[in-house]
Structure 1
Amino acid sequence: MENTLFWLIFFTLGCTLINGSEMEQDLTWRLRKVPRVVSERTFHLTSPTFEADAKTVLKKVCGIECRRQLPAPSLSDLEESLSYETVFENGTRTLTRVKVQGLDLEPTPNTTARGAPVRRKRQVYGTDSRFSILDKRFLTSFPFSTAVKLSTGCSGVLVSPRHVLTAAHCVHDGKDYVRGSQKLRVGLLKVRNRGGGKKRRASRRSRRGAAAGRPSFQWTRVRNTHVPRGWAAGPGGDAALDYDYALLELKRAHKKRYMELGVSPALGKLPGGMIHFSGFDHDRADQLVYRFCSVSDESSDLLYQYCDAESGSTGSGVYLRLREPEKKNWKRKIIAVYSGHQWVDVAGAQKDYNVAVRITPLKYAQLCRWIRGDRADCAYG
């Protein structure tokens, strides 16, 4: 037990097993200039019906080699995919068209797949390597305290005092918004203090839940939700896995420490090739579950890995811990959103992975603008 706790603390702190080759690895966040995503025009759309099934099943996904051989998307294709819908708490909806400025269109492989998550009942590979975070010292400490639960059953991560990053399919199935998303709520981890009038009147069920290690939540309503058009393609198109991310703005600011966003580095730049994320897996009764694993493969928009994860953890923020430039301190940043289980074509055969959507320079620019507004400086990420 003590050995397990040691390794949990070791990897939670973002340490990397060091061998001869990794001692020479550059473990520094490299800020890079990113393009600008600017608003062009906003249209009012008809209100959604909020009748979609939260369990999205989309078409066959283009495999890893297939994605690398596709032609690069044009600027107009990217602008169409990065345009976005905003749905407000009163049920109204808008579409904002965007322009991309300062993008260097190099001939890189296109990763816009026409497909979507195909879910298994289980997404655990071999020995279950997940850790349930039961100790309040961990549960209420950064980075675990940044994990949140959505009322639609997914997870998310705090990325500003008012914003939560999650997977798009947690609120939208590619055609319509899911049931319950009109009154979407976000649950922030909360620890009950002993004593106090209201605390004493807590129900027996709440006390049993706390005793069993299940966290309690402070639920906050969502003011609006941004979903990229690449996912919310509407009746005429298919949702693209590359755009399976959404940003939620809360009605009230929280006072918790949040995780900043970062541009996803290449696989060779990951410390030990490892990623980390925490979420609320359905099979563990509202416990916060942490895991880490190495990345098996990548495309320009996706990370393919075998991190053990069950439904409910989708929407979790995937993070790294690297050194800040010209500083001694280390910093964690969100570099991807966990999307879920996928079957993909690899060398003509079907192979399954758990997949995360990378925060590319363009997506960083879009998310930064959503969080900070049009006039914000989002030039470097």
Structure 2
Amino acid sequence: MEEVTFFLYFCVLQTINVCTHVGQNQPRVDNDSFLLNHTSPLELGTEHLLQILPSEQVYTVKILPSVASRKQENKRVFLRKSDFTNTQTLQDNLKTSKREPKESEFVYGSDDRSLVENYKLGQYPYFNVVKLSSGCSGTLLTPSFILTAAHCVHDGTKFHERMELLKILIPHKMGYRLYYAKEIIVPFDWQKTEGVSDARRVVFDYAVIRLDISVFGRHDFSPLRTVKFSIYSEKLCFFAFPNNENLMWKSECNGWNSFPLFNKNVLLNKCDSARGNSGATILSQDSRHGNTYKIIGVLSSVLPEKHYTSFSLLTKDKISDICTMIHPEGKIHKICSQNESLFHTSRLYKG
């Protein structure tokens, strides 16, 4: 997971009220040129600009080749839990001895993370947490779509190399199943442009990945919700995979104990984290409704020296756009509320 400089976060804190107006700096697109229909075939491997209504936010989309056309062996393999570190043994060791954090882990005070045992990986919400081969985590929104951080797939200038070989490990009853991406979409405002600071780009550090093959038999998903001031009293957490480990950990960042600073776009919080946690979704736990988890943002980066983890929060416009991208699955699986799941015709502008 990428570290950011103190200057970046100083800018975030100083411009916390300015970030709400980032969307005003939208690029102007010529509606009369290169107008395409979303159902029209697009050239594989190329990048296109996608304008999604009603927020009129512009996105960059990359269309990937099908699994069958890729050079690597692409059979749907299962990775058994026994192929990874014995999580039960590790859990027992954690109970009997103090675990020293690694250099790649960002622990503030005592390490309050907890290891998710193997037997839970086939249950909600754990079976929706995914591991990307780019060194990040993500979350299944529906059987076909994943939410992660933009910097996990795009460097601010272009998509990372060999995205057609991006591997996605998703928990399954038998272990982890391997999937590939069909389409990747990132906000245009995540890209580096003249006059736009990195602090403002953090607001748009999120991406949506469409899987080449949908996950079969998955029905329970976390809804997308905006943040309210009750965040100070809510139970917040995220599930993620540390880099170079196939172990899932739960990090808690609850209320006043972690001194969150936020507006409707950015949350700075004290959460124990590690490299590889980028792209994990921060969840608000609701014990009143069957102990469900609501997705309120995406983990962007950390600043260990200042004890802060940065999250790009979901706003009404972002949720509307995401629900448009994943229509009709978002409505079918109830992750989008009725007024957020309205489908709007997408317009593609070849870039």
Q: Which TM-score band applies after superposition, normalised by the shorter structure?
A: 0.5 to 0.7
Go from structure 1 to structure 2 and tell me whether the alpha carbon gap of 1:96 and 1:300 turns closer, same or farther (over 3 Å shift). Answer: same
**Residue 317 of structure 1: how far off its partner (Å):** 1.5
Contact 1:259-1:334 at 8 Å conserved across structures: no
Map Cα deviations across residues 3-37 of structure 1 (whole Å, 9 max, x no partner): xxxxxxxxxxxxxxxxxxxxxxxxxxxxxxxxxxx
TM-score (norm 2): 0.67
**Structure-2 residue corresponding to 1:61:** 9
Structure 1 alignment gaps of length 5 or more: 1-53, 104-119, 193-215, 344-349
Aligned residues: 272
RMSD (Å) for aligned C-alpha atoms: 3.5
SS at match of 1:225: strand
Contact 1:130-1:291 at 8 Å conserved across structures: yes
Map Cα deviations across residues 333-372 of structure 1 (whole Å, 9 max, x no partner): 21111112037xxxxxx83411111111111111111111
Go from structure 1 to structure 2 and tell me whether the alpha carbon gap of 1:170 and 1:358 turns closer, same or farther (over 3 Å shift). Answer: same
In structure 1, which of residues 310, 330, 340 is the aligned counterpart of residue 301 of structure 2? 340
Go from structure 1 to structure 2 and tell me whether the alpha carbon gap of 1:69 and 1:251 turns closer, same or farther (over 3 Å shift). Answer: closer
Matched letter for residue 125 of structure 1? Y
In structure 1, which of residues 256, 279, 296 is the aligned counterpart of residue 218 of structure 2? 256
**Residue 293 of structure 1: how far off its partner (Å):** 1.7
**Residue 220 of structure 1: how far off its partner (Å):** 0.8
**Residue 190 of structure 1: how far off its partner (Å):** 2.8
Structure-1 separation of matches of 2:111 and 2:193: 38
In structure 2, which of residues 47, 65, 87 is the aligned counterpart of residue 93 of structure 1? 47
Percent same amino acid at aligned positions?
A: 22
In structure 2, which of residues 257, 261, 286 is the aligned counterpart of residue 297 of structure 1? 261
Matched letter for residue 331 of structure 1? T
Structure-2 separation of matches of 1:252 and 1:151: 17
Contact 1:56-1:173 at 8 Å conserved across structures: no
SS at match of 2:306: strand
Matched letter for residue 211 of structure 2? L
Contact 2:16-2:266 at 8 Å conserved across structures: no
In structure 2, which of residues 276, 296, 309 is the aligned counterpart of residue 312 of structure 1? 276
Map Cα deviations across residues 290-322 of structure 1 (whole Å, 9 max, x no partner): 121224221221111111110111111111233
Structure-1 separation of matches of 2:170 and 2:322: 21
Structure-2 separation of matches of 1:167 and 1:74: 18
**Structure-1 residue corresponding to 2:183:** 224
Structure 2 alignment gaps of length 5 or more: 30-37, 58-102, 332-336, 342-351
SS at match of 1:260: coil
Structure-2 separation of matches of 1:162 and 1:341: 29
Contact 2:113-2:251 at 8 Å conserved across structures: yes
Map Cα deviations across residues 220-246 of structure 1 (whole Å, 9 max, x no partner): 110000000111246885550000000
**Residue 258 of structure 1: how far off its partner (Å):** 4.4
Structure-2 separation of matches of 1:175 and 1:237: 13
